[in-house]
Amino acid sequence: MGDSKLIILIEKYQQGVCTAAEKRIVEEWMDSLATEQNSFENIKEAEKLAIKQRMFSKIKQEIAVSPRKSIRFFNLANYVKIAAVLAILIGLFALGPIGYDVFDLKNETIVASSDGQTKKLMLSDGSIIWLKGKSTLTYPEHFDKQNREVSLNGEALFEVAKDANHPFIVHSGQMDTRVLGTSFNIRHIGGHIEVVVFTGKVTVSLPNTNKQMLILPLEKAICMPAEKEIKAQVNVQKEEYLANTEYNMNFEDAKMSDIIKKIEAKFDVTVKLTDNSLQNCLITADFTDQSLVKTFEVLCQTLNGTFERENNTVWLKAEGCN
């Protein structure tokens, strides 16, 4: 299960709606973790792993036995324990694979497929992938500390969230594509793989060879693994690659209400206006290849406003049209 499920279990405990077995799991977990709080940050990796294994073993034992008849009530001492434990929990999650293994919090590998229609995927780092045709994308539920790596079989358009410290790598057949934050399309054609870049810079390479090429916007790389060659093509028309996606977010004198619909569809959010008269504002701006946050930052500059996000709802407050 994901880390959100563990948080839900803690919330159930706080609300007093846990089963007896769940209550014991949480309390024993807090008891075992609280003793590690002061020295947690200073211990060695091997010891952290030992803590994880000890905690996991204890939970399995607790699940196997029958619940005790006596029930410990939730009090101030337990609030203090939870605060300490959550700090330790954050530290464990920061360890990457070790953290997600605690309590069987596996960093699951997800395999997404498209059935002939374009399918939108939103990854944990904010990247958006448009999976096309009959294709599959394999990716982790959470990216690790070093790289953001996915595997593609077929065709997809990538809008990679910008992160200079964590390269985004796409393994596609016998070709690797490496970026920091950009947008591009990968497509298999027979035994060849083509990469078309829309924004930013992309490096394509053939593993186990010295073949590598830097691709700039509106350029195409054609990778031929069998021939161990990479060819380049310039002045590529991108329109055919954007069909059936919401990649294009360029607006010229567009009504705010229409822009909101596009934002909601692309980012799977609900936008709320504090003043409904803003819907009639005319906006000229290009939000293409921008994150949700960056999109609203530009909108707020245009409207002299502010925004707040709460889960999947974005509240936009502004004085009006300029």
Closest by alpha carbon to 289, among 246, 239, 228?
A: 246
**pLDDT score at 81:** 53
Name the average pLDDT for the chain.
78
- pLDDT of 88 over the 90 cut: no
> What's phi and psi for 264, nearest 5 deg?
-60, -40
Between 64 and 304, where is the model more confident?
Answer: 304
What are the tens digits of pLDDT across the range 47-82?
545 555 555 555 445 445 544 433 344 454 555 555
- Would you state the structure tokens that stand for residue 140, as one six-digit string? 């982790």
Q: Is 263 left (phi over 0), alpha (psi -120 to 50) or beta?
A: alpha
Interstrand relation of 270-273 and 313-318 (parallel, antiparallel or unpaired): parallel
The label of the residue with tokens 């954007």 reads 242
Helix (H) or strand (E) segment spanning residue 4: helix 3-15
- CATH class assigned to 250-318: alpha beta
Task: Please give the pLDDT value at position 93.
Answer: 45
Predicted confidence (pLDDT) at residue 158 exceeds the cutoff of 80: yes
Of the candidates 87, 91, 103, which has an alpha carbon nearest to the alpha carbon of residue 47?
Answer: 91
Identify the sign of the CA torsion 2, 158, 177, 298: negative
CA 156 – CA 187 distance, rounded (Å): 7
Assess if CATH 2.60.120.1440 describes domain 109-242: yes
pLDDT tens per residue across span 229-261: 999 999 898 899 999 999 999 999 999 999 999
* Joined tokens for residue 308: 């707040």
Beta strands in the chain (DSSP E): 109-113, 119-122, 128-140, 148-159, 168-172, 175-179, 183-189, 192-199, 202-205, 212-215, 220-224, 229-233, 250-255, 270-273, 282-286, 305-310, 313-318
218 vs 196: CA distance, rounded Å: 7
Q: Which residue pairs from 168-172 have beta carbons closer than 8 angstroms and sit at least 24 positions apart in sequence?
A: 168/125, 168/127
Sequence length of the chain is 322
pTM, entire model? 0.65
More confident call, 314 vs 208: 314
- The reported pLDDT for the residue numbered 91 is 52
Segments making up each domain of the chain, as ranges = 3-104, 109-242, 250-318
pLDDT of res. 141: 87
* Structure token digits, residue 94: 């920061």
User: Fold identical between 109-242 and 250-318?
Assistant: no
Q: How confident is the model at residue 106, as a pLDDT?
A: 57
